[in-house]
Structure 1
Amino acid sequence: MNRRPGLSVRLKLTISYAGFLLLAGAVLLAVFWVFVLRWLPTDDPGAIRRAVGSVIIIGYNRSDLLRGFAPASVAALAFLLVFGLLGGWVLAGRMLAPLTQIADAARLASHGSLSHRIRLEGPRDEFRELSDVFDTMLEQLESHVAEQQRFAANASHELRTPLAISQSLLDVARNDPARDQGELIERLHTVNTRAIELTEALLLLSRSGRGTFTREPVDLSLVAEEATETLLPLAERRQITLDVTGEPTRAVGSAPLLLRMATNLVQNAIVHNLPTGGTVTVHTESQRDASVLRVENTGHRLPPELVPTLIEPFQRGTTRIRTDGHVGVGLGLAIVHSIVRAHDGTLDLTPRPTGGLIVTARLPATPRAASPDEAH
């Protein structure tokens, strides 16, 4: 936005300081005039001595005193003006020095340097608080940008893999026309299906992260039942028992996104389970200020340091064992985390002592912006 140039804040403060000092001096001189000069006679010659209460005024007549007083007053006011300008300029510079540091940091950030921190020293005041908030913002922004760059690199790598495989299969078919075309088509179909799944997962992850969806009342117990019914054939093939418990649990959000959240959690619990004879328990409950969906599954023991990384995109976990023979795209829990975060909720992952994982999604029972009347 183009704006006409104006006075700097430091110059404005300098003028304000000098003006205030000049005004204080003028008021002081006015008080002197009212209190002293009005008690002096206008034309009596010689010295006078007059008592005003407990104060004794000794001087000459008003004309003589005014002739001597006026030049001294002008000189005093001129001194106050110069002193106010110089002192105000120095004081304003010292007061605005933290803002200069913040502006320099913002300028560096606008050029792409997010690693700089202000770290303003001194006691906690308004400038120190602003500096700390700005440092926190830079830290979060740097972390977000690094996460996006890492995500873009991983997504490019993941998308490149099926495309490279397809290219290799096509090169083989072109160089060897006698090769079995049915096998080639089947392998191309498998690779293409994986690429489509990955692309759809990336699109869903992007949409859910923006939070631009219609919010409506959703019963998490019905969502959990629908998700388990959809994945029941997969669980039966792996001889895994699905158990849905709990009560009607009212949440507010996007029904399709919450269904995808529950489906991903149940599918993740099935494919990362024991080879046979495992269990998956899906439980819903209403707490005082949250709606809870909890998915617990048996499985192999997970190292504690591995659990926090499971919600990161493309982090499949090398020690996790899948029982469905499918590699996956590594976005299941990342999508769940994105959906929960878009609904202003929290996602907790806790390893079971005997093996497996407990995933708990807590969603607000009412919209964050709803008024008390609307909440009831």
Structure 2
Amino acid sequence: MSDEQLMSWRPRLTVRLRLTLSYAGLLVIAGAVVSCIIWLVFRIVPNYPLNGANPRDRRVLPPSRGDILHLVVTLSGWALGFLAIAGLVGGWFLAGRMLKPLQEITAAARKAASGSLDHRIGLTGIRDEFTDLSDTFDEMLGRLQRSFEQYRRFAANASHELRTPHAVMKTMLEVAAADPDHQDVPELVKRLAETNQRGIDIVEALLSLTALNNRSVELDPLDLAAVVRSALPALSSEARAAEVELTCDLAESVVEGNEVLLHQVVVNLVQNGIRHGGGSVAITVAPGRLVVRNTGSVLHPARIRTFTEPFAKARYGAGHGLGLALVDRIVETHHGSLDLAPIPGGGLTVTVVLPTADLVG
């Protein structure tokens, strides 16, 4: 028989059995100590003849020291046997009761390992180590469930978004191949280029999200207003082409950040306002804060809460829905916060709060 087979045939000593043996062993040892003390006490009793209470009564002989020691040893043996049985029975019951919460946690872990993440333990009663472990395990299951649900939605939406440009290009090429003599080639090339660019944008955004999830970012003190100024030329050109008014109010704001990533945040937020907003976009930089406001239609708060989910805005027919998701991930990487709030008259206010810092030199 191999070593692995020998290991598999070894008896399984459960925690409950070990606790039971420990309880019983402790009782037996304590009883044995008490018995030894009693035996030692009687060992030092003087060995002289004992007389009865009435010296004239000769019918009952008083016990000798040897008789008393023999009785002590006999009763101690019976007591130790009783303690051993009581320790085993009581220890088995107590160990089972104490380990019941652990069994529930184990059952929940098995269900989670099989793919069921909607089960919760929810231990109640006195706060102890088991309830703390249960609450921590339930919180972990909740996070895992939300993560897997988000991953499934992301995978489904990504597959759909990546398939759409290719399906559109395939249709245009099939139509052109079926009737090549009646095609506007420049227009066809333009539409193919636009559709291909959309696919490229989606792939680049997905790669950016993946890169942020798999690397640490070095943060250095920098002026957030300077980052906005570096992005303004391209953003102003796009705003003029879309006939959108772009205004700025830039104050010095030194934050801990990565210049390339914060430049991406500024570009994504302003482009979001230009392409999906109304007739104006306002950029404000204050200490530790970047605010981008754009006019537009009235937005419901429940809808706004989904904008930072990947492909969320694509469900409303606006872009591929990765811009704000990328912004949210970049802000999280910078240990900041992102807040999206509707403007009562219509439009959206996006506020980015970043940790402040001091410029060196």
Output the TM-score relative to the length of structure 1: 0.83
CA gap 1:30/1:135 in 2 versus in 1, 3 angstroms: same
2:146 paired with 1:176:
no
Question: CA contact under 8 A between 1:208 and 1:257: conserved in structure 2?
Answer: no
Q: Say whether residues 1:22 and 2:28 are aligned partners.
A: yes
Structure 2 residue 355 is the aligned partner of structure 1 residue 364: yes
For 2:88, the equivalent position in structure 1 comes to: 85
Q: Which residue of 2 aligns with 1:154?
A: 157
Within-5 A mapping of 1:234-273: 234-237=238-241, 238-252=243-257, 254-273=258-277
Tell me: CA distance 1:270–1:48, structure 2 relative to 1, closer, same or farther (3 Å): farther
Partner residue of 1:354?
A: 345
- Report the residue type matching 1:331 in the other structure: L
The question of whether the paired residues in 2 share the 8 Å contact of 1:316 and 1:330 is answered with yes
The separation in 2 between residues aligned to 1:281 and 1:30, in whole angstroms, is 88
Q: Percent identity, aligned pairs only?
A: 44
State the partner residue of 2:327: 336
Q: When the two structures are aligned, how many residues end up with a matched partner? A: 340
Deviation of 1:38 (Å): 4.2
The 10-residue stretch of structure 1 (207-216 or 187-196) with the greater mean CA deviation from structure 2: 207-216
Match of 1:9 among 7, 10, 15: 15
Which of 63, 70, 93 is the matching residue for 1:67? 70
Change in 2 beyond 3 A, CA 1:365/1:283:
closer
Contact map agreement 2:223 2:252 (CA 8 A) in 1: no
Q: Residue 209 of structure 1: which of 193, 207, 213 is its match? A: 213
Match for 2:237 among 233, 240, 255?
Answer: 233
CA-atom RMSD in angstroms: 2.4
The answer to whether the Cα contact below 8 Å between 2:28 and 2:80 also exists between their aligned partners in 1 is: yes
The change in CA–CA distance for 1:317 and 1:163 in structure 2 (over 3 A counts) is closer
| One-letter identity of the residue aligned with 1:28 | V
How far has the Cα of 1:211 moved from its partner?
4.8
Using the TM superposition, give the Cα deviation of residue 101 of structure 1 relative to its aligned residue in structure 2, in angstroms: 0.7
Question: Is contact 2:244–2:278 with CA below 8 Å preserved after alignment?
Answer: no
Verify the 8 A CA contact 2:39 2:73 in the aligned structure 1.
Answer: no
Which amino acid is the alignment partner of residue 206 of structure 2? L
Deviation at 1:48, TM superposition (A): 7.5
Q: Distance in 1 between matches of 2:91 and 2:216?
A: 50
In 1, Cα distance between equivalents of 2:22 and 2:245: 78
The separation in 2 between residues aligned to 1:358 and 1:257, in whole angstroms, is 20
Quote the offset at 1:47 in angstroms.
4.4
Does 1:316 pair with 2:322?
no
SS for the counterpart of 1:344 is: coil
Tell me, in whole angstroms, the C-alpha distance in 1 between the residues paired with 2:153 and 2:262: 26
Structure 2 Cα separation of the partners of residues 40 and 48 of structure 1: 17
SS at the partner of 2:302? coil
Q: Does 1:292 align with 2:301?
A: no
1:115 lines up with 2:118 in the alignment: yes
The CA deviation string for residues 300-336 of structure 1, in whole angstroms up to 9 with x for no partner, is: 322233221221222228779xxxxxx5211111111
Q: Matches of 2:90 and 2:235 in 1, distance apart?
A: 77
Structure 2 counterpart of 1:200, from 190, 198, 204: 204
Residue 46 of structure 1: how far off its partner (Å)? 3.1
In 1: Cα distance, 2:32 partner to 2:139 partner = 47
20-29 or 138-147: bigger deviation: 20-29
Distance 1:46 1:230, change over 3 A: same
1:37 aligns with one of 33, 38, 42: 42
Shift of 1:60: 4.0
Give 1:133's aligned residue: 136
Structure 1 residue 144 displacement after superposition: 1.0
Q: Quick one: distance in 2 between partners of 1:317 and 1:198? A: 11
TM-superposed deviation, 1:298: 2.8
* Letter aligned with residue 303 of structure 1: H
1:142 Cα deviation after fit: 0.7
Which structure has more helix as a fraction of its residues?
A: 2
User: 2:283 & 2:168 partners in 1: Cα distance?
Assistant: 38
* Distance in 2, Cα, partners of 1:233 & 1:304: 31
**Alignment check: 8 A CA contact 1:295 1:359 kept:** yes
8 Å CA contact 2:281–2:292 kept in 1: the answer is no
The 1:48–1:70 alpha-carbon spacing in structure 2 relative to 1, beyond 3 Å, is farther
Structure 1 residue 39: deviation in Å? 4.5
**Structure-2 separation of matches of 1:231 and 1:48:** 117
Q: Which amino acid aligns with 2:254?
A: T
Report the more deviating stretch, 102-111 or 266-275: 266-275
Q: Is the 8 A contact 2:261 2:330 kept in 1?
A: yes
Q: Which runs of 5+ in 2 are unaligned?
A: 54-61
CA deviation after TM superposition for structure 1 residue 196, in Å: 0.3
In 1, Cα distance between the equivalents of 2:29 and 2:158?
A: 67
Tell me how far apart the structure 2 counterparts of residues 279 and 345 of structure 1 sit (CA, whole Å). 23
- Structure 1 portions without partners, runs of 5+: 50-58, 286-290, 321-326, 367-376
